[in-house]
Structure 1
Amino acid sequence: MKVGIIAFTTSGCRTAMAISEVFKGDGVDLFAKSTSDELGLRHVDESMRSWTGKAFETYDAIVFVGAIGIAVREIAPFVKSKDVDPAIISVDEKGRFSVPILSGHIGGANGLAVRIAGGIGALPVVTTATDINGKIAIDSFAVNNNLTITSLHMAKEVAARILANNPVGLVCDVECLDSPPPELSGPADSPTGVYIGIKEVKPFPSTLHLVPRDLVLGIGCRRNTPQQDIEDMVSKALSEIGADMSRVRAAASIDLKKDEVGLLGFADAHRIPITFYTSDELNAVEGEFSKSNFVQSVTSVDCVCERSAVKCSADGELVLRKFAGNGVTVAIVQEKFAVSFAKVRR
């Protein structure tokens, strides 16, 4: 996770530094838009509007250390949709209150605000209805369990029924590690319900479909391969197993491709992490893989796509071996998948 923190006063800079300690292990950048002592924080020379626009494209979470009004005014032109906006948190300069103000559930701002509060001794101020009523937030549940929300409209409908104490049904085709909460214990003939799985089914008249992100892509490509060529081959590869990008959790390749513009653009466009491995790491992966003398001569690895997919997966099966075309190779691993409702309980 990449976090950007910006402060506006000397006191705020001290609080920003304390917040950065909470995110040790994550990528954190500290900034100051101030004429006072900035305690070594990177000074922002450009306008706040310009900085905020870039921050929206760069960070998974942005923390404004100062008045909430500053944050609201600066982020307003860049807010798009709850499924793409970064988490925005506001913390006062004294570090007394930690307030999520955008993307509380899908972006994780609520959880991050609580995490910050715990780290600096602040009071978290969470205002989302499901949280303050002690109900399951279906969008948070989806994000925490690597599930793709296929319809934000249906997610809102489910949330509204939960808050109104109306029954919401559940059909789960994957392993459940614990029992669902009462909010999702409606009868089979509930008018509204949630389906978790990969089938194209509609168990309820109004069904929210949550798709398991259980696939890892291994990708190899020639130098300077256009992003569209990668998009096309990945789409074809997924079609081979009856899947689409909604099921993709991550991608991987060899470190020789870590600056490949088309590959990075593909991962960024689909908001999936991409990991690059050295030839030694890939060669250490156990198993039977396809072999290419040409690829071996260039990369010192016999099959980049298959080995990188297996290396990146937690515990999975190679369901599509090297699928090649137009200078791109794709392999797909399907991981074992389970959900836990406890992940969203406070």
Structure 2
Amino acid sequence: MTHMPHPGTVYFIGAGPGAPDLLTLRARAVLAEATLVLYADSLVHPDVLAFAPPTARIEGTSGLTLPDIIAAMVEEARRGGVVARLHSGDPAVYGAIAEQMHALDAAGVPYEIVPGVSSLFAAAARIKRELTMPGVAQSIILTRAAGRTGLPRNESLQAFAAHGATLAIFLSVSRIQQVVDDLLASGGYTPETPVAVVYRATWEDEQVVRGTLATIAEQVRAAGFTRQALILVGDVLGDAPPPATSHLYAPDWRHRFRPHGAPIKRPVRRGDSFSAATHIVALSRDGSRLARTLADALDGCAWVPRRFADDEPRVQPYDERARDLVAHLWTQSRRLVLIMPVGAATRLIAPHLRDKQHDPAVVVCDDTGRFVIPLVGGHLGGANTLATTIAAHLHATPVITTASDLRGVPALDLLGRERGWRIAPESALTHAAAALVNGERIGLFVEPDLPDEAAFLTQALAALPPEQVQRVETPADLLDPAYAAVVLVSHRLRAEWQSLRGRGVLYRPPVLVVGVGCRRGVPAEELEAAVQTVLARHGLAADALKAVATAAIKADEAGIRRLAERWRVPLCIVEHDDLRALDAPFSPSAAARFGLPGVAEPAAVAVAQGALLVPKQRFKRCTVAVALAQSEGRGICASIS
């Protein structure tokens, strides 16, 4: 079940060993909703920050003290924000979170811990070793060498080494000779005991040194490792085959999941079944027949009980309980068709429901094929459309219950979706939709410099009575209590929104193109700070961003590429001839020595094919400009990455 972050809560997140794709799904879900991200910038890979929204405040903690960190977390949580406190690896192992949790307890601020992948397991994966092996070692000890932080009594390396277990030694590579001396003094290891030292596991500059206790100190010194390296010690690291095999998969080992003579079940994930766009789950014999028909019609996969299954291309037999199958499919598919009673379907999906932004489309069909009911995800998930398609194929009756569809009024959660509009997360979508369906008065404001969006709205709302929706001249006009609900379409930061969000919906059309130029090697963090400064200074919304643009001369700048990745928008590279062809005056630029009119301004204008909203703003090592994009296409963009 996907975790939904709670406002006013601090989340201690294990950011893993380095590689951003090793973040857990829960960690990514929390980061996606974070309003403040505090991260250990000396240890956490900066690309992890790409999962945070552009509007989040991001701050490294290497230069902060504990009181600074606590004050920032408490202030943001009490303001109702979501705080993501990123620690490397798993916060339970040398995470220094106990003192932070104690302070939050004293302040009365709730917190949760999101586990992460420890560098221990990343290192084991890197060297391709199982750290427990029958007949060799069945225990793993996680520890560190004594240093500025001492060790409790009876926890010395000598004491642990006496067991001969697998040792994972953290935070100690700078004392490698001391580590070797202590381990050999115990008698539990010999000079020939294998050792592996993994430096910055899963990072781009990851390195591995292998040796023995007799050689490893000199090897580590030669490699230059002084920090961020894990030391693994034990006979399991050797190359010899294991002296014994496990009982787990032995042919003669029986247990309640594999009794004697029982056939081995095929796993749920077989073949290409998970590549299907739609998954159809049946319970009965008649339902299985119907599932086959729908699998062919919808280019999907039919999941049927094994006793009703044949060897057919689109049929996947299953043995487990339907609730276990649906639990597997829930995270793998955006469209589920459940051929069963509505009550049974409701109970199967209930544990997995989150919200309309994240839930898949779920459609229920009786096993005679008479009725088709969109159960979840009617609008955003596309369940209403899917139900209508299925009904047309089966000559069945679609049972659509969403009020907007029944009354022919536009669905606010879908409005502008095909144009890329984003709904501000604090919008009162349910309240506004109810007001629209109930025929109550709606106030509407569209920014004057967005004529294409205004024309689209006029067409989308044409079916409503003209007296129901009233367009106003300024956002302040929407404060009139005569409006039961309000709708704003804006790429600007409007102060009135704070008073309107309890009864309004704010749409952010992607119309801002940010042009960026920089010196060589400027990191994404510095560029992002400059862009955020420009947008905030000129009252522009970060979630209305359409693209980042730059000149071909800057195409290889990693910082600019990462900037676009972190903001989840395309990076448009404009060829030099296209920049020179622009017939517009631009601010003087150092790019003139390359025969170019500039970088930030002309790139933004070329891609946007619209007006320059913010002329070039100069920072120490970069320049930023913003242009307003036309809705027709993206303009000149030689390549997008």
- Which TM-score band (shorter chain)? 0.5 to 0.7
Which of residues 474, 483, 486 in structure 2 aligns to 1:194?
A: 486
CA distance change for structure 1 residues 304 and 166 in 2, over 3 Å: closer, same or farther?
Answer: closer
- 1:89 is paired with a residue whose SS is strand
- 2:291 is paired with a residue whose SS is helix
- Tell me if structure 1 keeps the 8 A contact 2:276–2:301: no
Which of residues 498, 505, 509 in structure 2 aligns to 1:213?
A: 509
Structure with more relative contact order (C-alpha pairs < 8 Å, separation 6 or more): 1
Deviation at 1:12, TM superposition (A): 0.7
2:297 pairs with 1:18: yes
- Tell me if structure 2 keeps the 8 A contact 1:5–1:65: no
TM-score where L is the length of structure 2: 0.37
Aligned partner of 1:132: which letter? Answer: L
Aligned-CA RMSD value: 5.1
- 1:127 is paired with a residue whose SS is coil
2:336 pairs with 1:52: no
Q: Which is richer in strand?
A: 1
Deviation at 1:44, TM superposition (A): 8.2
Deviation at 1:193, TM superposition (A): 3.4
The residue number in structure 2 matching 1:148 is 422
Percent of matched pairs sharing the same residue: 21
* CA distance, structure 2, for counterparts of residue 252 and residue 37 of structure 1: 54
* CA distance, structure 2, for counterparts of residue 132 and residue 53 of structure 1: 28
Which of residues 127, 148, 161 in structure 1 aligns to 2:435?
A: 161
TM-score where L is the length of structure 1: 0.61
Aligned partner of 2:290: which letter? Answer: S
**Which segment drifts farther, 124-133 or 92-101?**
92-101
* CA distance, structure 1, for counterparts of residue 616 and residue 353 of structure 2: 40
The residue number in structure 1 matching 2:303 is 33
- Tell me if structure 2 keeps the 8 A contact 1:192–1:204: no
- Tell me if structure 1 keeps the 8 A contact 2:404–2:411: yes
* CA distance, structure 2, for counterparts of residue 229 and residue 39 of structure 1: 56
Which of residues 360, 363, 372 in structure 2 aligns to 1:90?
A: 363
Which of residues 542, 567, 585 in structure 2 aligns to 1:245?
A: 542
Deviations 1:251-301 (A, max 9, x none): 7899999xx89965653xxxxxx5577x7x967866559898xxx9xxxxx
* CA distance, structure 1, for counterparts of residue 317 and residue 575 of structure 2: 41
- Tell me if structure 1 keeps the 8 A contact 2:432–2:505: no
The residue number in structure 1 matching 2:106 is none
The residue number in structure 1 matching 2:629 is 335
Aligned partner of 1:109: which letter? Answer: A
Deviation at 1:322, TM superposition (A): 8.5
Deviation at 1:166, TM superposition (A): 2.8
Deviation at 1:247, TM superposition (A): 1.6
Alignment gaps of 5+ in structure 1: 21-29, 268-273, 297-301, 339-346
* CA distance, structure 2, for counterparts of residue 119 and residue 310 of structure 1: 47
Compare CA radii of gyration and give the structure with the larger one: 2
Aligned partner of 1:5: which letter? Answer: T
The residue number in structure 2 matching 1:78 is 352
Deviation at 1:194, TM superposition (A): 1.8
CA distance change for structure 1 residues 323 and 158 in 2, over 3 Å: closer, same or farther?
Answer: same
The residue number in structure 1 matching 2:337 is 64
Deviations 1:79-117 (A, max 9, x none): 2222x2144131536765443222323444334443554
Deviations 1:44-97 (A, max 9, x none): 879425523432xxx5x3232523556534433332222x21441315367654
CA distance change for structure 1 residues 219 and 184 in 2, over 3 Å: closer, same or farther?
Answer: same
Aligned partner of 1:16: which letter? Answer: A
Alignment gaps of 5+ in structure 2: 1-274, 282-287, 472-476, 633-641
Deviation at 1:219, TM superposition (A): 8.9
* CA distance, structure 2, for counterparts of residue 330 and residue 217 of structure 1: 10
Aligned partner of 1:64: which letter? Answer: V
- Tell me if structure 2 keeps the 8 A contact 1:31–1:44: no
- Tell me if structure 1 keeps the 8 A contact 2:528–2:563: no
> 1:305-324 residue pairs with structure 2 within 5 A?
316-317=610-611, 319=613
- Tell me if structure 1 keeps the 8 A contact 2:511–2:630: no
**Which segment drifts farther, 8-17 or 68-77?**
68-77
- Tell me if structure 2 keeps the 8 A contact 1:217–1:330: no
> 1:166-315 residue pairs with structure 2 within 5 A?
166-173=440-447, 174-175=450-451, 176-177=454-455, 178=458, 180=461, 181-182=464-465, 184-185=468-469, 189=480, 190-198=482-490, 199-201=494-496, 207-215=503-511, 235-236=532-533, 238-239=535-536, 241-249=538-546, 267=568, 274-275=569-570
* CA distance, structure 2, for counterparts of residue 95 and residue 215 of structure 1: 45
* CA distance, structure 1, for counterparts of residue 345 and residue 428 of structure 2: 29
* CA distance, structure 1, for counterparts of residue 577 and residue 344 of structure 2: 51
The residue number in structure 2 matching 1:299 is none
